[in-house]
Amino acid sequence: MAHLHAVLSAAMRSPRPAQPQDDLNPVDRQLFVEAMSRAANGVNVVTTQGVGGCDGVTVSSACSVTADPPSLLVCIHHSSRSASAIESNGVFCLNVLAADQQRVSEAFAARIDDLDDRFSVGHWSTLVTASPVLRGAAAAFDCRVDHMLTEGTHRIFIARVVAAVSGDTLPLVYARRRYARIEWD
């Protein structure tokens, strides 16, 4: 087993090989963050509107849960204003950004200093829940929250998809701390 670990570490050309850990001593945080930066993720903006207000945030942690019934999950930092708004509203829309929507991502990640209203970037509409839906997105999933839980620093929202739309555009991707575009043959 130690030999296999050494071979895998060398194959990955890791600057710091991971040491075997047990449940009481998890892997080093910085090593984990660096390794996760190598994973390519879709770029999404999660929006919500209702009694808890209108808000949104850029996230990369989102995935489908099941097709029967259609459901997905998103992870949002527990201290985020958007997490509180989603908890209050009980609804959100997962907007999968198109390759040309990097500025929308930056707006909702608070990377544009002089921007007063994040929703001024892009064109928005609604589907069923009144959560903002980004026009031109690669896809959008309008959802009602079924379950919420906290793991470490994040709130995990598991939701039933009540409406969905998809476009003919390729999604925006994020890996190694920068944006990328997918190219099809």
Q: Given a cut of 80, is residue 53 above it in pLDDT?
A: yes
Q: Given a cut of 70, is residue 21 above it in pLDDT?
A: no
Domains parsed from the chain with CATH numbers: 40-181 (2.30.110.10)
Q: Given a cut of 80, is residue 121 above it in pLDDT?
A: yes
**Residue 38 in tokens:** 């190598």
Q: Containing H/E element for 140?
A: strand 139-151
Helices (H), 13-157: 29-36, 81-89, 102-108
For residue 150, count CB atoms less than 10 angstroms from its CB and return exposed for 0-12, middle for 13-18, buried for 19 or more: exposed
How many other CB atoms are there within 10 angstroms of residue 97's CB atom?
A: 28
Q: What is the pTM of this model?
A: 0.83
Q: What is the mean pLDDT of residues 169-182?
A: 89
pLDDT at 38: 80
Q: Containing H/E element for 56?
A: strand 55-59
The reply to whether omega before 70 is within 30° of 0 (cis) is: no
pLDDT at 41: 86
The more confidently predicted of residues 90 and 15 is: 90
The more confidently predicted of residues 134 and 3 is: 134
Q: Given a cut of 60, is residue 102 above it in pLDDT?
A: yes
Q: Given a cut of 80, is residue 18 above it in pLDDT?
A: no
Please give the mean pLDDT across all residues of the chain.
87
**CA 113 centroid distance within chain:** 22
pLDDT at 182: 82
pLDDT at 74: 98
By percentage, how much of the chain surpasses pLDDT 90?
68
Q: Given a cut of 60, is residue 4 above it in pLDDT?
A: no
pLDDT at 111: 80
pLDDT at 150: 96
